[in-house]
A and B are shown apart, each in its own frame.
Chain A
Amino acid sequence: MSLFEIKNVSKSFGDLKVLNDITVSVDKGEVVAIIGPSGSGKSTLLRCATMLETMDSGDLTYKGEYAAKNDENGKSVYAPPSELRKIKGYFGLVFQQFNLFPHYSVLKNLCDAPVSVQKRDRKEVEKEARVLISKMGLEGKENYYPQQLSGGQQQRVAIARALCMNPDILFFDEPTSALDPELTGEILKVIRQLAQEHMTMVIVTHEMAFARDVADRVIFMDGGYIVEEGRPEDVITNPKEERTQRFLARFSENG
């Protein structure tokens, strides 16, 4: 059984069809990278998976539990709110723009949701949060506010915040795109470390070298379709599809 599966998803914004009958499933411990040009639908796919967007049609399951299921007319019907709230505990999302809470300290950014959403013991959560903070190389920053940190540090806080919920799977939406090239490395290092610890992850990224190194599987999307999918050495190094080749060629030209 896959940990996460999104099946036959279609999604339109008005007349624009952004996802066409897409199916992705992810096993426990797997690291999947989604690549593709802007507007290819990869971010929308991630937003559908994390329920920030509703699917027009398609099924969405975590650990075999349905968050949404097609009805007889082929329209997605979502589970009741209580069920969805439970399922939201299975995944975490790291945003391109971090989206930390500016009025909370680093520690509170990590602890507030586990305490007030998951109703866990504050002391225990704080202990766990401090371990995560030092794992992210942010010791001593517990009482800082997000604006006092660099972009790279903020993104590491955001990763820690997602991890503090103990998710089964972590989604990354272009986690380094808002960062200076200098700061990109520190985020990729953290994700690499998580991959070594067999954290299940789905990463939308433009960092091809990183995707090739870290991912177990690469999905190339374009125009709302999955064009090519497979091992990174196949998709990135020796793409079969002409569209993938063109996309990757532009990448190596640009360095």
Chain B
Amino acid sequence: MSLMNVMRQIGSGFGSTLIIFFFTLLFSMPLGILVALGRMSKIKPLSVLIQGIISILRGTPLMLQLIVVFYGPYYLFGMKLSTGWRLYATLIGFSINYAAYFAEIFRAGIQSIPVGQTEAATVLGYTKVQTFVKIIFPQMVKRTIPPVTNEVITLVKDTSLAFVLAYQEMFTYAKQVSAAMSSLMPLFVAGLFYYLFNLVVTIAMDRIEKALSYYN
């Protein structure tokens, strides 16, 4: 098989990888903010509960969590699993797991903002929601870009874990081609794809960081 052919084969899984990547970010970031706010809640039981969930999500393998999400409905409720469920289970598993990491990053970001910012907003009459949306959130975004970039880069590579649910993403194809050819070359090609993907991610995050560097 020619190199072009190998690339075409592996590239056909790239769309699936992109789907996991894009939807995981789309769901996990807002969810991460909600979880962070819940974690900082003055309602003690809520905060403790969320702390426990975060601890489990960060303390166990993502691969295991994907399997639990995928088979959960069958073992718990005896539901029949459709083929479409593979993708949904993958997205749910990834989103929840990444939300836990983002939540901790966002919490640290929010708590690093001087309390004087909230006090100034309170005296000026901003509501709690206005204070968060207008004053705290934008400053949090700026401060958390470096750790968020780390997570996004990890996510690009983690998408390959979807193979445990037999969801056909890029790495699944690479392994199949590699086995068929008895060659490691296809795996290196896949590696190159992930690297290039991450290069784009890094450049994009760098741009965002620069765009927000108009203040300290």
Of chain B, the residue at the smallest CB distance from A92 is B123
Docked CA distance A113–B120 (Å)? 11
Report Cα–Cα, A79/B121, bound state, in Å: 20
Within the complex, the shortest CB–CB distance from B114 to chain A, in Å, comes to 7
A contact set with B: CB distance below 8 Å: 50-52, 85, 88-89, 91-93, 95, 97, 99-103, 112-113, 116-118, 145-147, 161, 165
Report the 4 A-B pairs with minimum CB-CB distance, sorted nearest first: A99-B120, A99-B116, A113-B124, A117-B125
Known A-B contacts A52-B122, A103-B142; A97 and B116 likewise in contact (beta carbons under 8 Å): yes
B73 in the interface, Cβ–Cβ < 8 Å?
no
Take A88-B123, A103-B138 as given contacts and tell me if A147 and B215 are in contact as well, using a CB distance cutoff of 8 Å.
Answer: yes
Residues of A within 8 A of B126 (CB): 113, 116-117
Across the interface, name the chain B residue whose C-beta is closest to A161. B124
Interface residues of B in 121-145 (CB under 8 A from A): 121-127, 130, 134-135, 138-139, 142
7 further A-B pairs in the complex, CB-CB below 8 A; given A93-B123, A102-B215: A52-B122, A88-B124, A91-B123, A99-B119, A112-B134, A116-B134, A165-B124
> What are the residues of chain B within 8 A of A117 when measuring CB–CB?
124-126, 130
**In the assembled complex, which residues on chain A have CB atoms less than 8 Å from the CB atom of B120?**
95, 99-101
Among the listed A88, A91, A145, A161, which residue makes an inter-chain contact with B215, where contact means beta carbons less than 8 Å apart?
A: A145
Q: Smallest Cβ distance from B82 to chain A, in angstroms?
A: 47
Measured in the bound complex, the distance between the Cα atoms of B124 and A161 in whole Å is: 9
A145 touches B116 (CB 8 A): no
| Chain A minimum-CB-distance residue to B123 | A93
Q: Interface of chain B, helix or strand or loop or mixed?
A: helix
Distance between Cα atoms of A146 and B214 in the complex (Å): 11
Q: Are A101 and B116 in contact, CB atoms less than 8 angstroms apart?
A: no
A85, B139: Cβ atoms closer than 8 Å: no
B13 to chain A, nearest CB (A): 41
Listed A/B pairs (24) with beta-carbon separation below 8 Å = A51-B122, A51-B123, A88-B123, A89-B125, A91-B123, A95-B120, A99-B117, A100-B120, A101-B117, A101-B120, A102-B139, A103-B138, A112-B134, A113-B124, A113-B126, A116-B126, A116-B130, A116-B134, A117-B124, A117-B130, A118-B125, A145-B214, A146-B215, A147-B215
Bound form: Cα–Cα A216–B95 in Å: 62
Whether B216 is near chain A, meaning CB under 8 Å from some CB there, is yes
Contact B216 A102 (CB under 8 A): yes
Contact A101 B135 (CB under 8 A): yes
Whole-angstrom CA separation of A57 from B125 in the bound complex = 23
Which of B119, B120, B215 has the most CB atoms of chain A within a 10 A radius of its CB?
B120
Residue in chain B with minimal CB distance to A47? B119
- A101 proximity list for chain B (CB < 8 A): 117, 120-121, 135
